[in-house]
Structure 1
Amino acid sequence: MRIGIVGSGISGLVCARLLNRGNDISVFEAGSYIGGHTHTIDVQEETGTRAVDTGFIIFNEKTYPNLVEIFDRLGVKSRESNMSFSVFNSDSGFEYNATDLKGLLARPSNLLRKRFWNMIRGILRFYKMAPDLLRTLDADVTLGTWLDENRFPKAFIDDHLIPMASAVWSTPLDQIRDYPLLSLIRFFDNHGFLQLSDRPVWRTVVGGSSAYIDPMTAPFRDKIRLNCPVQSINRSGAEVILTTASGEEHTFDRVILACHGDQALRLLGDSTEKETEILSCFRFSTNPTTLHHDSRWLPSAPNARAAWNVRTSDNKQDIQVNYWMNSLQGFNDAPVDYVVTLNDQCVGTDVQIDPDCIIEKMVYEHPLFSNSAISAQNRHHEIDGIAGVHFCGAYWANGFHEDGVNSALRVAKKFNRNLEEFSHGI
């Protein structure tokens, strides 16, 4: 069977790996590298090269079982990491690290702030209520509506829950309020965010997340076309015609759109009414991302510094997240602080990243979740495989690497692939 795969992110690669044997596959990638959000930058230091991640960074064995299965089969090694989290408000100067008491009191003046105590009261109340909400909450209730109706302290909303949720899903502050609360709490519960003990151990790939790309693609590397954006997908009888931006036409029996939902819809020149209805529910945010070593973008108070550092302001529309890669990837011997900053221009500040410290700039897109998007996820079966076109990607679930793997497995199963070893979430 002739199979075209659009996109070389985790979903496209898993499809290609599973379907390569016994089929004639071709993978089309618009960008210059394989991996999508798996994007490791090799940084030159005096003593050698250091692999620094910028997109996919961490996973855990509890909630990423199929990804772990793939890593084990490929011989990919990992090490322990962490998910420590801090918030800094550039207007008020309020700052804390949620990991422990030292972090909460990173600035001792927090003890004298009413804002701090209001936040703590909100935290205790929310995490006490959350387990019951898993059983009683209506699926359509949004985070913002529920917080307003239950009169939670503004400090808890603005300085804790909204920044945390926004950072997890790389979603603008004003849009994360539209996230269905039940889905959010389920995610928090599955990932151990609602408990103080028995939390998953977070891990990072040794040598950078891109270390899995070579062993993953070894059987089909010559079938991947880089810098080859697709212009359109059209169905003609029992065949699917894929046209590249350069005008080349390729004919396939099946095409798998392993790209974002909005991209898939744009590519479909003959989309059905149902495909348009479902795919138009998926929206994505654009996040400018910079890898640099300007340590001014990390919290100044030592005990406030965390793996994930959120910077916000009172007049906010978006958040800025500064990932401290030394902590996440265990760079204890690094000569500088490596930082990955999302949305460096979004928070009102006159401080710019020192141009001499900038290593690389990228742009990533992340799914925005709403009630309509969640409803659309449940309708995947209505459009997948119709007239030879399949759809997969992490946006069909929570937007993370495991979701991308599971989405690919679901599609591969329709090609009669035996997936017994991947029994989780399929």
Structure 2
Amino acid sequence: MSNFKNQKIAIIGSGITGLACAWHLNRCGFDFRIFEKNARIGGHSNTVDTPSKTPVDTGFIVYNEWTYPNLINLFETIDVDTEASDMSFAISMDKGNFEYAGDDFWTLFGQKRNFFRPRMYSMIKDLLRFYKQAPIDLEQGSASGSLGEYLKKNNYKDAFIRDHLIPMGSAIWSMPPNQMMGFPAQSFIRFCQNHGLLLLTDRPEWRTVTGGSREYVRKITKEFKNKIVINDAAIQIGRDKGKWKLTTKSGEVEIFDQIVFACHGDQILDLIETPTDLQTSVLGAFKYSKNTAYLHQDESLMPKIKKLWSSWNYMGLTNKHSVIDTPVFVTYWMNRLQNYMIEEDYFVSLNPFKKPALDKTIREINYEHPIFDQDAMDAQKELNTIQGVDNLWYCGAWCGYGFHEDGATAGLTVAEQITHIQRPWNVDEKSTAKMNCTALNYKAKNKVA
């Protein structure tokens, strides 16, 4: 670790983590280059223009005012325009056989048959119990084990698990429904509590970037666009006379003093020429699920009852007792999320059971999302044992809960460690992002205005 500004730093990855890290390094006068394997920068900040020139986000879409303090401060510092969004949620099971939305009483029973369904009342009863009891169990330390184990121990019924909790968790983390049962219960409850998901009223306000997330990408990179290498992946990092030799897919070789891995956690070991046993143990614990997103206009991938259409629409299949093991299928109604008051409806569907009609499909995009099982959570706690060792740094949204706040926090924190200079704001609010690399003391004197 060094604060010498003449050192050369490589940043691998140009998602929010790499860009936040680069932004702080740049403002502190450090020399760096970003290596991006794709032809565009931004990672999950991926805005696509429709044929009508409507900019639609297909990855990162929203953030809230409670638990994103670093992202909010970053946006304010680089003057990003944002606007209020909507985070309504609907569930459509078994091709519309069972549907409801969470806006109010009338959408909860928007499908008239719900008035006569025991599963509906069972779900509501357990939902109210979970919202009340889970935070108490978390505080008392009795929410141990996996989410599945916690639910079984506390006798939650299939209807609540199958028709509400698993769909909600799967939609949030883009995880296969059955894998949600392996999510650590404490982490799940803590996340839900911090994000106001266990409240019936007074939930946090959500916002979206005006004009799409590419607008913040454009502003954050304004001062260092010439330091970004696109369409040329780093393929190997090896030792060279006490420094690091980076080789790209095109054959370019460059020597760096420090390397910042701002890519997916499961990609790092393949890049390091001779990883240590400790690196292998820690980084090998991070796994990802592959998800395919479609930007389209096919209404058949939405709930059948149009008045139940919500910002997030979970589309599931069930058997008698549980959700069938398939990738998560959720459709985002982008008009409602991004405030597009236009006649055309635009949707982004993740892993639909059937592809949208070809003549209604605008773009197909592949994404990967981290899987937060107990192994991953344990590895997060061990990340500090390799962080900064031999001038190698590891950061990404996978260091926290997988969201933009986690990614921004991770990138900024690593940049602080390299520069010994604090980010240009104080975070009085508690960020729920976890970064196992100590941020600088906010009272430190070495702060760039």
The two structures have a TM-score, normalised by structure 2, of: 0.90
1:314 and 1:194 map into 2 onto residues whose CA distance is: 24
Partner of 2:435: none
Say whether 1:290 aligns with 2:289: no
Question: Does the aligned pair in 2 maintain the 1:229–1:245 contact within 8 Å?
Answer: yes
Identity of aligned residues (%): 41
Superposition deviation, residue 236 in structure 1: 2.8
Question: Does the aligned pair in 1 maintain the 2:238–2:245 contact within 8 Å?
Answer: yes
Counterpart AA for 2:106? K
SS of match in other structure, 1:3? strand
Say whether 1:12 aligns with 2:11: no
Superposition deviation, residue 138 in structure 1: 4.6
Q: Which runs of 5+ in 2 are unaligned?
A: 1-6, 432-438, 440-449
Partner of 1:224: 228
Q: CA RMSD in A?
A: 1.4
Give 1:301's match in structure 2, choosing from 305, 315, 333: 305
SS of match in other structure, 2:412? helix
SS of match in other structure, 1:17? helix
| Mean Cα deviation higher: 411-420 or 55-64 | 411-420
| Mean Cα deviation higher: 73-82 or 320-329 | 73-82
Say whether 1:233 aligns with 2:242: no
2:424 and 2:381 map into 1 onto residues whose CA distance is: 23
Partner of 1:321: 330
| Mean Cα deviation higher: 297-306 or 404-413 | 297-306
Partner of 2:399: 396
Question: Does the aligned pair in 2 maintain the 1:140–1:371 contact within 8 Å?
Answer: no
Question: Does the aligned pair in 2 maintain the 1:106–1:302 contact within 8 Å?
Answer: no
2:226 and 2:73 map into 1 onto residues whose CA distance is: 25
Deviation digits for residues 287-336 of structure 1 (CA, Å, limit 9, x no counterpart):
01100011121112133211000011115113200000011001122x32
Deviation digits for residues 348-404 of structure 1 (CA, Å, limit 9, x no counterpart):
xxx541100111110111110011211111122111111121101010000000000
2:128 and 2:142 map into 1 onto residues whose CA distance is: 22
2:237 and 2:115 map into 1 onto residues whose CA distance is: 60
Aligned residues: 417
SS of match in other structure, 1:44? coil
Counterpart AA for 1:357? K
SS of match in other structure, 2:414? helix
SS of match in other structure, 2:390? coil
SS of match in other structure, 2:307? helix
- C-alpha change, 1:53 and 1:91, in structure 2 (3 Å) is closer
2:340 and 2:82 map into 1 onto residues whose CA distance is: 14
Deviation digits for residues 5-47 of structure 1 (CA, Å, limit 9, x no counterpart):
00000000011111124222110001111100000001131xx
Say whether 1:72 aligns with 2:81: no
2:241 and 2:188 map into 1 onto residues whose CA distance is: 42
Write out aligned runs for 1:326-337 (5 A).
Answer: 326-333=335-342, 335-337=343-345
Write out aligned runs for 1:413-424 (5 A).
Answer: 413-415=416-418, 416-419=420-423, 421-423=425-427
Say whether 1:344 aligns with 2:352: yes
Partner of 2:444: none
Superposition deviation, residue 422 in structure 1: 4.5
1:386 and 1:108 map into 2 onto residues whose CA distance is: 61
1:325 and 1:28 map into 2 onto residues whose CA distance is: 31
1:420 and 1:92 map into 2 onto residues whose CA distance is: 50
Deviation digits for residues 185-209 of structure 1 (CA, Å, limit 9, x no counterpart):
1111111111123311001110011
Write out aligned runs for 1:16-415 (5 A).
Answer: 16-20=22-26, 21-45=28-52, 49-90=53-94, 93-138=97-142, 140-315=144-319, 316-318=324-326, 319-333=328-342, 335-345=343-353, 351-415=354-418
1:6 and 1:116 map into 2 onto residues whose CA distance is: 48
Counterpart AA for 1:392? C
Question: Does the aligned pair in 1 maintain the 2:144–2:150 contact within 8 Å?
Answer: no
- C-alpha change, 1:138 and 1:125, in structure 2 (3 Å) is closer
SS of match in other structure, 1:75? coil
Q: Which runs of 5+ in 1 are unaligned?
A: 346-350
Deviation digits for residues 210-250 of structure 1 (CA, Å, limit 9, x no counterpart):
11011100111011111111111112342011111122211
2:217 and 2:150 map into 1 onto residues whose CA distance is: 42
Superposition deviation, residue 418 in structure 1: 2.1
Counterpart AA for 1:209? S
